[in-house]
Chain A
Amino acid sequence: DTGVSQDPRHKITKRGQNVTFRCDPISEHNRLYWYRQTLGQGPEFLTYFQNEAQLEKSRLLSDRFSAERPKGSFSTLEIQRTEQGDSAMYLCASSVGDISRNEQFFGPGTRLTVL
């Protein structure tokens, strides 16, 4: 499978715990995006990397959220001190080529449930 992969697919945690998700983009894609999606809503942008550089970060992103892409390949998203409101599907996407066209390829997502 040469698509975007995410791990784990499901995560259940207790409020206050830290969680980390991983995303492996399509191998030649230099751009990587994280989104959050709740039921009945479209994906909400969290952050964006070009290679290893984090170029954009949503103003809505709490300081409990941090993302890295240390070698410009896979990325991790960490949520510290989770809250029930963090329960959502976390989607990763990657793209390559002309940024203006920006066709993004999405992974299957990690569903987070905070109890």
Chain B
Amino acid sequence: GQNIDQPTEMTATEGAIVQINCTYQTSGFNGLFWYQQHAGEAPTFLSYNVLDGLEEKGRFSSFLSRSKGYSYLLLKELQMKDSASYLCAVRDEAGGSYIPTFGRGTSLIVHP
């Protein structure tokens, strides 16, 4: 398996910056995804990284280091609506599958 590890829960203050980490172990890494999921709703795509480095998209950025098996999602200028679960998903093609495996998700609570 991919052995994906994320913190279970994080809290942050409105307007602040928060970094959500994800570590993984794969034999044939081929892509890492971040999804956002509000309570009771479906996941929505945030970002995709396959090469090392930082991908920026508005208030959200995602970083990948393949050699360290590590990624983070950076959320800037936090808003109350950012309170959600953030899911890291990793594709490992060693087993011949194109389907990413999801981690358990990190529940982010943003308070005033």
- A-to-B contact residues, CB < 8 Å: 4, 33, 40-45, 48, 56, 91, 99-109
Contacts and interface: CB of A to CB of B under 8 A. Distances in A.
Interface in B90-107: 91, 97-105
A44 B43 CA distance: 13
Interface in B55-112: 87, 89, 91, 97-105
A40 B89 CA distance: 15
B44 interface: yes
Contact of B87 (A42, A56, A101, A105): A42
Contacts of B48: 101, 103
Interface in B1-59: 30-31, 33, 41-45, 48, 50
B104 A100 contact: no
B45 A104 contact: yes
Main secondary structure on A side of the interface with B: loop
Contacts of A56: 97-99
Contacts of B105: 40-42
Contacts of B104: 40-42
B3 to A, nearest CB: 13
